[in-house]
Amino acid sequence: MILTVTLNTALDITYRVRALRPHASHRVSEVTERPGGKGLNVARVLAALGHEVMVTGFVGGATGRAVQEQLSATPGVVDALVPVTGATRRTIAVVDDHTGDTTQLNEPGPTVTPAEWSAFQQTYEDLLTPAAAVALCGSLPPGLPVGAYAGLVRAAKAAGVPVLLDTSGEALRRGVAARPDIIKPNADELAELTGSHEPSRATQDARRRGARAVVASLGETGLLALTPEGRWRATPPTRLHGNPTGAGDAAVAGLLSGLVEHLPWPDRLTRATALSAASVVAPVAGEFDRGAYEELLGRVAVTGEVTAA
C-alpha cells in the first residue's frame, strides 16, 4: 500500500471557456469537479496504474464532504482523511480553449488548530505501519508549523518507510534538512531552494542539503534526476497541448510506483515522464490519457550515467 499525504486538500473545480479575457463576462462551456490537492491527484493516478493507495490529510465542512463523497467512488483509493472544524478549500482552474492556457485560483485552506495537528500526527504514524512508501505533497494550510513536513519525514524514516517530498518554499527547505529519500521540485522551486537557476548545479546543491535523490520537473523538457545511483535526463518526444495542472503530480505517481516496484531509475523516470506528458491531455488533474501514456512509454529518451554521486 502507498500512502499519500495532502495536508491542504481541495475540491478542484475546472471551468472551460472559449477565450479568457480580463474585465469580461464569460460563458462556461464545461464544469468538472474532482477531489484535489497534490497528494489526492497522485493517489488517483496511482490507483489507475493498479496500486492500492491510502490518502490522509485534513478535510472539513461541506466542501470536505464533497471531496470524500467523490473519493468513495474512486476504485483503489482508501479514505483516511482527518476531520477539522474549518472548511476544505476550493481551487478554480479556468481553461482557455483558444490558447490552451490555464489560469489557476487557489484558496488558502482551513486554519488547523494545535489539537487537530496533534491528532493527525498520531493517525499518520499509525498509517505508516502498512505503507510501502509515502508521499508528502502540497502546501501547508494556515495554522501548521513551517517545519510540519520535516517532522513527517522524520517519522517515516523512523518507521523505515521511503518518503517522497513535493512541496515548496520554507516547507521544502525545512523538509530537505530532514533527509527525505526523494524530492521533486519544479524549476522555480528548485531555484528558490538553492539560489541557482542552473538545474544541474541546483540538483547537486539540493542533495547536499539532505535529499537522497532529487528529481526536478523542467516543464515540457522533462525531468532531471540526481540520485545515489547516477544522474539522468528524461525527455518526452513531443510537446502535448492541454491543461498542465497536475502534470507534476502524475510524475510523482510514476516515481512512487517505480519505487515500490523496484524499477531501476531510468525506468522510473521513463514512466514518470510519460505519465506527466499524458496528464496534460486529460481533462482534469489526477487523470491521464492511457493511450497517450502507453504510446509515450516507448518514446521517452533517457540519457545519463551511473555514478557514485
| CA gap 228, 18 in Å, rounded | 47
Q: Tell me the β-bridge partners of 35.
A: 11
- Contact between residue 102 and residue 243 where contact means Cβ atoms under 8 Å apart: yes
Closest Cα to residue 237, out of 158, 292, 281, 181? 292
CA angle 45–267–189, rounded 5-degree value: 65
Integer distance in angstroms from the first to the last C-alpha of the chain?
30
Active-site residues, by number, are 249
The length of the chain in residues reads 309
SS3 at position 63 = helix
Name the DSSP letter for residue 300: -
| CA gap 269, 154 in Å, rounded | 26
DSSP-derived pairing of the beta strands 2-6 and 10-17: unpaired
